[in-house]
Amino acid sequence: MMALATLPPSLKRKLMPSTFTDTTTTSDKEVVVDTTAIDELAVACLVNVVDLAASYICTKLYAPLTGTLTSITTNNDAQTIGYVYSRRLKWLSPAAARRKRRRLLDPSCDENDLEGCKSRLEAACDQLQLSSIPDTLLGREEERRQIYQTLKLAVVDGESSPVYISGLPGMGKTATVKEILRTLERERDAQAIPPFTWIEVNGLHMPKPDQAYSMIWKALETFHFQAKSFNAKRARDCLDALFKLDNSSRPVLILVLDEMDFMLAGWDLPERLAPKLRSRFGINRIAFRSYTHDQIQRILHQRLASLNVFERGAIEIYAKALAHQSGDVRKALMVCKAATERALRRVTDTHVPSLVLSADIEAVQACMSQSPLVTRLRQCSTFECIFLVALLREIKLQTEGVVRRMANLTKTAGLPRVPSFADVRAICFELERSDIVRERKGKWALTFSHDEIQEAFLTHPVGRLLWT
């Protein structure tokens, strides 16, 4: 162990004997010490200094982001860096110093840190899932207030009050409406407002627009309206008769029509409807604007909570870049989740704890960049999209297994017809011509990476449904 006499007088006063143990030194003239940040930049947490009493030469620096010791080979650099770090040397308390030394020098403790890093990254991946909706939605406070007041007033008064909500994909429309409905349900259960029920009809689930009548009538079975299955025309007549009844005992029905304008004609409804229909439709329109970089940053920090898995400044830089591009919060969640998975794979392969770096986000963005093939992916037909998702999820990649997987996904998407084996062969032929898939020895392989297909299907109506 290094004698205390070899240390400078200024360090002797700061050093407590209980912090200086046999594990502190690796030779007679080498000691691991803690330093403060230089110029408010956390350059390193630990420094390996040689000959403190003589020339203040620094031989190694510990980088906390990569978890590695970097050797300094140039003598001039070693002397300069050693001098700078030694002048800013600051010892921690005995307990904190011992904990840091154990993390650096004890192999078993390194394993615990590695497992802790993996668990934090895995938890971050779960929190960044599109299906993981927090209790409170940030960045949509004003829109939420308007929708909440309109729906609550309609439920209390028992009167019709249509609302048209517009906005680009990824602006939080569906999530905001469902969060408001959950709030109203809690108030209903507490008997603060009159009873009501609500039904959701998603246009992506309908092969034809007129199927909406059958879906609404079928959903009424849940609410004990003694509904029976009818075709579209019969269901429309029954709904018309039901809503014309002056029955005060019937609870208020909130009908949520999602993606309806896309399924009908791809129109912006208020501008394309005839004036007579527009007046009946109502003028209560709420537009969801693109998220700002502050809102995107707040949403990501809310999802990640106190996990601290991202490099400092990485989220802020990406949020500003995305706000200038589209302001799509779903894309932000997808990119950050893919970057977190990339960091998790790196930690698993190298067995070295690591954060999600800005380089990970940039790599994911580059992988998801536009290309002719990505454009082709976004233009896939319904069954082509289902085939590619089935191919991603099928382990053996054989045609029979992919067909079975497609049948399950087709039912999940609510499509009326399951593709036959001949249909699948035709789909494979078209995708192979586009160089999206390749067949070899009876097995299929994708020419795209998982991240590229994920990004392409984020804006695909069927792909988004299956992916989320």
Whole-angstrom distance, CA of residue 210 vs CA of residue 219: 15
Cα first-last separation, the chain: 59
User: DSSP states of 130-189 as a string?
Assistant: TT---SS-SS-HHHHHHHHHHHHHHHHHT-----EEEE-TTSSHHHHHHHHHHHHHHHHH
CB 254 within 8 A of CB 197: yes
Please give the residue that has the higher pLDDT: either 378 or 37: 378
User: Which residues, other chains included, contact 330 with Cβ-Cβ below 8 Å and sequence gap of 6+?
Assistant: 130, 169, 170, 458
Per-residue pLDDT at 56 exceeds 50: no
Ordered by where they begin, the domains of the chain are 4-105 (no CATH), 123-127+291-367 (1.10.8), 141-288 (3.40.50.300), 372-467 (1.10.10)
Q: Lowest mean pLDDT: which of 114-123, 218-227, 334-343, 386-395?
A: 218-227
Per-residue pLDDT at 137 exceeds 60: yes
Tokens of 455: 């990004």
Whole-angstrom distance, CA of residue 176 vs CA of residue 286: 12
Residue type, 285: R
Distances (CA, A) of 446 to 392, 396, 462: 8, 13, 19
Dihedral pair phi/psi, residue 451, rounded to 5°: -65, -40
Across 286-292, average pLDDT: 88
Per-residue pLDDT at 103 exceeds 60: no
CB 338 within 8 A of CB 128: no
In this prediction, residue 190 carries a pLDDT of 92
User: Which residues, other chains included, contact 299 with Cβ-Cβ below 8 Å and sequence gap of 6+?
Assistant: 138, 139, 291, 329, 332
Please give the residue that has the higher pLDDT: either 336 or 136: 336
Per-residue pLDDT at 392 exceeds 90: no
pLDDT digits (tens, 9 = 90+) for 404-451: 888 888 877 777 777 777 888 888 888 887 778 877 766 777 777 666
| Closest by Cα among 337, 306, 291, 292 to 468 | 337
CB 104 within 8 A of CB 24: no
Provide the CA 390 distance to its chain's centre, in angstroms: 22
Distances (CA, A) of 199 to 59, 239, 294, 330: 68, 14, 34, 24
Per-residue pLDDT at 44 exceeds 70: no
CB 356 within 8 A of CB 343: yes
In this prediction, residue 396 carries a pLDDT of 55
In this prediction, residue 143 carries a pLDDT of 92
Q: Lowest mean pLDDT: which of 62-71, 125-134, 317-326?
A: 62-71
User: DSSP states of 391-422 as a string?
Assistant: HHH-SS-BHHHHHHHHHHHHHHTT-S----HH
pLDDT band at 378 (very low <50, low <70, confident <90, very high): confident
Per-residue pLDDT at 148 exceeds 90: yes
